[in-house]
Structure 1
Amino acid sequence: MNLAALMIADSRFPGGGHVHSGGLEEAVARRLVHDEASLRSFLVGRLRTAGALGAVFASAACRGRYEELDAELDARTPSPAQRRASRVQGRGIARAARKAWPSPALAELLRVTPRPHHPVIVGVLVGEPFEAAQTVAYHAVTGPATGAIRLLGLDPFGVNAVLARLAPEIDAVAAMAADHADTPPEDLPAPSAPGLDLLAEAHDRHHSEEVRLFVS
């Protein structure tokens, strides 16, 4: 894995991902996630849907076509709250990337879309389809997993064991996504998760009415 992928995947990277739980906070509030077993189910579902979608677009972003990818990812993300969360995280990564990895590709991305989606800017920075997809797929589960430790007080060792056992599934999603690196943006797969969309919208509404730990 190249250095950019390792740094972006690191929770210490200043991209703002630590304030997003990927819908887990709302799932916990509704008692859908309450222990390691239910957390694993949530993570698998998120990986195979929102995670796979992000991975596909990260892989495709390694080939350019940024404006089309931005529009197509918007079209595949029906939840306004999820679209905002993706762009907020993308903007956070962009701030750090301007300092760490200035390049013509990054400049072109930010020219056509100043607030890029998270998967697209990860693809631009990592540059290799499998590794870009792997990074985004990993992000799809690590954010909620970290959130579970904070929200439920789960054993960090147990939660990290859950993550470690997801490695084959993360790699499988990344491999599928890498196969679509050269697929035209309009033909990219669109795995959906209506349940996650509903959780995101409910969390966004509750976040405006009461104090929540996570933005999403």
Structure 2
Amino acid sequence: MDPVALMLADSRFPGGGHVHSGGLEEAAARRLVTDEASLRSFLVGRLRTAGALAAAFAAAATGGGPDRAAHHAELDSELDARTPSPAQRAASRTQGRGIARAARRAWPSRALDDLLRVAPRPHHPVVVGLLVADPFEAAQVVAYHAVTGPATAAIRLLGLDPFGVNAVLARLAGELDAVARAAAAHAGTPPADLPAPGSPGLDLLAEAHDRHHREEVRLFVS
């Protein structure tokens, strides 16, 4: 795998992902996730919906031809249109901005500057796709983020055994690769024609979490 992809997938990369639970905090508060079995169900659902959507956009963001800035701006707008939850949109843009800030120091480029000119707070998958040249690897990174964030949150929120949680993640390897392969096939798809798998359950959890986060201190921003 490309070293850039490896670094972006690493939880130690300062992109801000550690403060986002991907809906897991709200799901745990509602007792929808309580153990490894229910965590696996949550992760599979998230991977096949929000994860698949993000992966397709990351793969598409690796291309763009001579006018990459316009391509990335269009992708950014199309991903907004496919993310009905304002809280989910804000979380994606916050993480995207965090990765972009770190990437400007690690891998400065005109392409990144152009993206931030047209989208100062870009969506997370768009930034990843710009930084990782290979569509499959870009899709892998964001699909991996879609499940590792909630999995880590489950350890902190529910006190689950870290070895057991990592075993759950390891058994999702086939699902992760399948999502990434399907997403990579859309590398040349026009932004308006990219898939739009819905996740209304995650949208509702995100909005509820955002409301509760404003009323009381929560461990995670989303």
Shorter-normalised TM-score: what interval? Answer: over 0.9
Task: Work out which of the residue numbers 149, 158, 167 in structure 1 matches 2:164.
Answer: 158
Flag structure 2 segments of 5+ consecutive residues without an equivalent: 65-70
Aligned mates of 1:191, 1:103 — CA distance in 2: 32
1:1-216 equivalences in 2 (<5 Å): 1-64=1-64, 65-216=71-222
Task: For residues 20-55 of structure 1, give each alpha carbon's deviation from its aligned partner in whole angstroms, at most 9, with x where no partner exists.
Answer: 000000000000000000000000000000000000
Aligned mates of 2:142, 2:76 — CA distance in 1: 16
Flag structure 1 segments of 5+ consecutive residues without an equivalent: none
Aligned mates of 1:211, 1:67 — CA distance in 2: 34
Letter paired with 2:159: G
Letter paired with 1:39: L
TM-score norm. by structure 1 comes to 0.99
- TM-fit CA distance, 1:103: 1.2
Letter paired with 2:20: H
Letter paired with 1:143: G
Aligned mates of 2:201, 2:179 — CA distance in 1: 20
TM-score norm. by structure 2 comes to 0.97
- TM-fit CA distance, 1:111: 1.2
In structure 2, the residue corresponding to 1:168 is in which secondary structure?
helix
Letter paired with 1:53: L
Aligned mates of 1:67, 1:120 — CA distance in 2: 9
Number of equivalences? 216
Aligned mates of 2:100, 2:77 — CA distance in 1: 18
